[in-house]
Amino acid sequence: MNIAFFLLPKEEVVYVTPRTTMRQALERMEHHRYNALPIVDADGRYVGTITEGDLLFMLKRTPGLSFDNAHTVRIEDIPQVKRHQPVRIDATMDDLISLAIEQNFVPVVDERGVFIGIVRRKEILEYCAQTTKALSNGAGGADVRRPKP
């Protein structure tokens, strides 16, 4: 199965840049109800994922830092607790599944490392559920399609 079928393209992904402020990231997370955002640099390359946990740890470790002055801290200055691994567009579903165990989404890059979008855990789980259902119904070689949103 081609993972491009499950791709949410970059144009539809909420992401931040290394120069985005902590406050902007918090506001985007709150507005979209996300707990993690991909970080894409000025060259369009995926450089990591910033999570709510990363932001909370930064608040905890930085005396005097609060929401009121979070605009003074850039994403590039916030340590990322976990390294969210991207996959290349030619990756397999098995690659996606193994990463989705630990990540809410899997960043997808092209052969040059340029960020082209994400595959959300929801779509991966729906694929797995449909595949399991098809196999249990005796349709071993059935073509399992992505469900309509």
Does position 51 have pLDDT exceeding 70, yes or no? yes
Q: What's the pLDDT at 65?
A: 95
Distance (Å, rounded) from C-alpha 71 to C-alpha 139? Answer: 54
The helix/strand/coil state of 2 is coil
pLDDT digits (tens, 9 = 90+) for 94-149: 888 888 888 889 999 999 999 999 999 888 888 888 888 888 887 555 455 555 55
Distance (Å, rounded) from C-alpha 106 to C-alpha 49? Answer: 10
Q: What's the pLDDT at 140?
A: 53
Q: What's the pLDDT at 1?
A: 66
pLDDT digits (tens, 9 = 90+) for 58-79: 999 999 999 999 999 999 999 9
Maximal C-alpha separation, the chain: 61
Kindly report the backbone phi and psi dihedral angles of residue 84, in degrees, each rounded to the nearest multiple of 5, phi listed first.
Answer: -80, 120
Tell me the pTM: 0.84
Residue type, 39: I
**Residue 16, token pair as written in the block:** 């931040």
DSSP states along 134-145? HHHTT-TT----
DSSP state of 86: P
pLDDT digits (tens, 9 = 90+) for 4-22: 889 999 999 999 999 999 9
Distance (Å, rounded) from C-alpha 35 to C-alpha 52? Answer: 5
